[in-house]
Amino acid sequence: MKQKKSNVFILVMAISAMLVIAPIIGASSVMAASTYKIGGIFDSTGPASFLGDPEKKTMEMMVEQINAAGGIDGQKVEAVIYDSEGDPAKAVSAVNKLLHKDNVLAIIGPSTTPTTLAIVNFVEKAKVPLISCAAGIEITSPIKPWVFKTAQSDLLAVAAIYKTMQARNIKKIGIITVANAFGESGKKQLIGQAKDFGITVVQQESFGPNDTDTTAQLTKIKSASPDAIVCWGTNPGPAVVAKNVKQLKIDIPLYQSHGVASPKFIELAGDAANGIILPTGKILVTKLLDASDVQKKILEKYEADYKAKFNINVSGFGGYSYDAMVMLANAIKGSGGDKEKIRTALEATKKYMGVTGEFNFSATDHNGLTPDAFVMVEIKDGTWKLLSK
């Protein structure tokens, strides 16, 4: 009997001890969850650093702003950012670290199409939302439930260029594209959409990303006598093309892609940049926008914040991670950290007016932009001029 009593006593002691300790354990697990961890993979060094570097800086700035405003639902946000150096293999190792070691809620990036495509299967399998900052249409077509992107697709850029050409009665074009994923995707869109706008591609050429001379290709295009030339690439190649066009005295309009929509291009191409027409996100021409443009205020604020924090001028590409971060923060709100809820909320994002344009995600559109996300500009005397629509 006595034996039994002491057993009960021990039991009571054990239960009460657990009751005392439990809240502490519980509290500490709440403490651990009190930050929302968000992953970032950007090509902040290497050949695509002109994309990755401003994207990374923007994400850091946004996280700081969100935390300064009290975080999301009272929880602080923590960014874990890795550099993929433009290398798909490095992107894969970064995504594995984010998924398995850092256990992030969602991932923003990577910056380029090849690095994004390399990690898509991993996030799909782990069921973690990914918002890519890359342009390639293959990222969101066909639709993958967990993959979104904020950069305008090439599809839209080509449509914007062709619309302008149509208005200017240009029927025959020669194209010269860079021999990498960006150029190939552009070439596919240029050839694929030409018919819809009554345009024929009479000559197609390519150049290497580090080529120092493209006169041979341009001579060939010239002999096919097109009405205009479209060049698709990222710096410095298109600047070489622009210079060569002037040197060969080819007297037809040169169109470039949004890949060179930065002041750097004007600096590189110098006088040869004059008269070049290209599509760009609105951020490049914020000052020229109409005061009635709803995007103008958002752009001005982003520009001012970025300049204040990093003391360098904003680049057109950082906006991709700005929009990704804002939409993600909105989606996390009220989700309690549930990834499925975040994904559903992202997909339901409607009429979000961001730096890049107005986003309307749906179950069939994970890019959510229209050609209106681009404006057409002409380079005149070393600066941008808006083309009237």
Partner 1 sequence: MQEIIQYLFSGITTGSIYAVIAVGLSMLYSSTELINFSHGEFVMLGAMGIVTIWVHLALPLPLAFVLTVAAVAFMGMLFERLAIRTAKKHQPITLVIITVGASILLRGVAMIIWGKDPFSVPPFSSHDSIEIAGAALVPQSLFIVVAAFILAGAIHLFFKQTLTGKAMVACAVNKKAAWLSGIPSETMGVLAFIISTGTGAAAGIFIAPITMSSYDMGTMLGLKGFCAAMIGGLGSLWGAFAGGILLGVLESLGAGLISSGLKDAIAFILLLLILYICPGGLFSAKISKRF
**Which residue ranges make up the site for partner 1 (CB under 8 A)?**
45-47, 49-50, 53, 176, 179, 205-208, 210, 212-213, 215-217, 219-220, 223, 235-236, 239-240, 247-249, 264, 267-270
Residue 381 tokens, joined: 């005397």
- Beta strands 254-256 and 228-232 are parallel
Min CB(129)–partner 1 separation in Å: 29
90, HSE (Cβ side, Cα atoms, 13 Å) = 16
Q: Which is nearer to partner 1, 72 or 242 (CB)?
A: 242
CB 157 within 8 A of CB 257: yes
Min CB(253)–partner 1 separation in Å: 19
Q: Which is nearer to partner 1, 261 or 269 (CB)?
A: 269
Rounded Cα gap, residues 46 and 86, in angstroms: 6
Min CB(281)–partner 1 separation in Å: 19
Which residue spans within the chain are E strands per DSSP?
35-42, 76-83, 106-108, 130-132, 147-149, 172-178, 200-207, 228-232, 254-256, 277-281, 352-353, 358-359, 374-380, 383-386
Rounded Cα gap, residues 21 and 11, in angstroms: 15
Min CB(226)–partner 1 separation in Å: 15
Q: Which is nearer to partner 1, 70 or 192 (CB)?
A: 192
Q: Which is nearer to partner 1, 263 or 337 (CB)?
A: 263
What is the phi/psi pair of residue 288, to 5°? Answer: -85, -10
Min CB(213)–partner 1 separation in Å: 5
Q: Which is nearer to partner 1, 187 or 366 (CB)?
A: 187
Distance of CA 381 to the CA centre of its chain: 29
User: DSSP secondary-structure letter at 388?
Assistant: P
Q: Which is nearer to partner 1, 212 or 388 (CB)?
A: 212
Q: Which is nearer to partner 1, 23 or 270 (CB)?
A: 270
Per-residue burial over 42-58, b if 16 or more Cβ lie within 10 Å, else e, is bbbebbbbbbbbbbbbb
Q: Which is nearer to partner 1, 174 or 368 (CB)?
A: 174
Q: Cβ atoms within 10 A of the Cβ of 139, count?
A: 21
Instruction: Please state, in angstroms and as integers, the Cα–Cα distance from residue 82 to each residue in 55, 98, 317, following that order.
Output: 12, 9, 18
Min CB(50)–partner 1 separation in Å: 7
Min CB(89)–partner 1 separation in Å: 17
Min CB(355)–partner 1 separation in Å: 21
Rounded Cα gap, residues 22 and 227, in angstroms: 77
